[in-house]
Amino acid sequence: MYPVLIKIHQILSWLVLLAAAYAMYRSWKGVIFKKQWFIVDTRAGLWFSVLVDVQIGTGLLLYVVYSPVTRIVFTNMKAAMADAPVRFYAVEHILVMLIAAILVHIGRAKARNTQFAARKHRISAFFYMLATALILTRIPWERIFTL
């Protein structure tokens, strides 16, 4: 089951990045060209947040149930923290990705609850960009290219 979930997690990484790029494109286009807020803008943020949630779900399943790395961590946390690659997966990757997911949802909720289109675009652009930057810093690039 572990190899299958890892593949799904890798493929979802690319889908999340595509959704992030599209959501940021819609938001920045709205900011720069002073566009109205359209249903496609809402859907871009929705797809971004849904894919992030699915990715977090598969990641948590890997982390809690199937990953051999986390089994090592759960048996000896002190030794795991001394090993940088193990620490990356045990703490840094999951923590930063959870923060990024929260930022996506905050941005989407704040944009949805704002009345003016210009403000909606600015809010979503800021939060989506911040979340995407965090995601990009904690993707294990050496693994993601092994599709």
DSSP state of 83: S
Model confidence, pTM: 0.93
Taking alpha carbons only, the member of 119, 108, 126, 125 closest to residue 29 is 125
Buried b or exposed e, range 53-63, using 16+ CB within 10 angstroms:
eebbebbeebb
Give me the number of domains the chain comprises: 1
List the domain range (segments joined by +) for residue 60.
2-144
How far is CA 128 from each of CA 20, 24, 83, 101, 147, rounded to the nearest angstrom?
7, 6, 32, 10, 26
* Rg of the chain on CA atoms, in Å: 17
DSSP string covering 89-139, please? IIIIHHHHHHHHHHHHHHHHHHHHT-SSHHHHHHHHHHHHHHHHHHHHHHS
pLDDT in tens, the chain (147 residues): 999 999 999 999 999 999 999 999 999 999 999 999 999 999 999 999 999 999 999 999 999 999 988 888 889 888 888 989 889 988 999 999 999 999 999 999 999 999 999 999 999 999 999 999 999 999 998 877 765
What distances in angstroms separate CA 71 from CA 63, 64, 98, one per listed residue?
9, 9, 20
